[in-house]
């Protein structure tokens, strides 16, 4: 598993559905320079856990945007599949109402570059291209800062849905650090005290708790 934290987020150019209805070509990550990005991968359209996650991110979308954060979803399905799923209502298992971009990683290069692809390609004994496992994305999530650097990554196995509130908490922690120069201890939440990254700062924090 590649650790991308501290590195430039791999850019890409791919088809995507934006605003819940418009298919665009050449959607790219670099357009968000100067903003934070939550980039998350999910395995498949028209499944069970995935729509709960996509709706959960939509429910928090305005809160993300108020923090200068853009949300972008990616799966290995086609843009036509994304579009079709977006036309299906929530009570029928669809994702109607999702407005953030959903990227079509049909050649699987984005998932590969973020190292969230579930399988691997190889050549068999007949020199034929084959694959191990189903070539879809794990539930990867990456927080990218305003300079395009990955500051947080989390990868769940396919059955395990993510906690959107935790993604929000990590954004708060990063922005708190950037604004105050203080680091965030375990279970830190917005409104709590930070710590000076010095021995004295640790001692002061422990003494007050």
Give the tens place of pLDDT for each residue, 10-26: 999 999 999 999 999 99
Indicate whether this model's pTM tops 0.85: yes
Distance CA 99, CA 130 (A): 36
Q: How confident is the model at residue 200 (pLDDT cuts 50, 70, 90)?
A: low
CB 110 within 8 A of CB 10: yes
pLDDT at 198: 67
Give the tens place of pLDDT for each residue, 73-93: 999 999 999 999 999 999 999
- Catalytic residue numbers, as ranges: 50
pLDDT at 130: 85
* CA dist list (Å): 162 to 18, 107, 114: 22, 25, 18
Q: Which domains does the chain have, with CATH numbers?
A: 13-160 (3.40.30.10), 163-209 (no CATH)
Taking CB atoms within 8 Å and a gap of at least 24, the contacts of 163-169 are 164/53, 164/56, 164/57, 164/59, 164/60, 165/60, 167/38, 167/40, 167/141, 167/143, 168/60, 168/63, 168/64
pLDDT at 120: 81
Q: How confident is the model at residue 209 (pLDDT cuts 50, 70, 90)?
A: low
pLDDT at 207: 52
Give the tens place of pLDDT for each residue, 124-164: 899 998 888 789 999 999 999 999 999 999 999 999 999 99
Give the tens place of pLDDT for each residue, 25-75: 999 999 999 999 999 999 999 999 999 999 999 999 999 999 999 999 999
Rounded to 5 degrees, φ, ψ at 96 are -55, 135
Give the E-state strand segments of the chain in sequence order: 13-18, 22-28, 36-41, 69-75, 102-104, 120-123, 129-132, 139-144, 150-156
CA neighbours within 13 Å on the CB side: how many for 199?
0
């Amino acid at each position: 598993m590649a650790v991308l934290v501290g590195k430039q987020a791999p850019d890409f150019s791919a088809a995507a559905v934006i605003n819940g209805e418009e298919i665009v070509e050449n959607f790219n990550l670099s357009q968000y320079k100067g903003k934070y990005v939550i980039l998350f991968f999910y395995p498949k359209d028209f499944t069970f856990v995935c729509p709960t996650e996509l709706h959960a991110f939509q429910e928090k979308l305005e809160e993300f945007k108020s923090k200068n954060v853009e949300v972008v979803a990616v799966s290995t399905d086609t843009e036509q599949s994304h579009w079709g799923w977006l036309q299906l209502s929530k009570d029928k298992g669809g994702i109607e109402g999702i407005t953030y971009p959903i990227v079509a990683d049909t050649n699987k290069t984005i998932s590969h570059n973020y190292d969230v692809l579930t399988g691997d390609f190889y050549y068999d004994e007949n020199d034929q291209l084959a694959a191990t496992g189903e070539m879809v994305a794990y539930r990867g999530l990456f927080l990218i800062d305003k300079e395009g650097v990955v500051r947080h990554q989390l990868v769940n196995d396919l059955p395990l849905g993510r906690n959107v509130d935790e993604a929000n908490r990590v954004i708060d922690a990063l922005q708190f650090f950037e604004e105050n120069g203080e680091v965030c201890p375990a279970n830190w939440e917005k409104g709590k005290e930070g710590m000076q990254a010095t021995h004295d700062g640790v001692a002061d924090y422990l003494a007050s708790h």
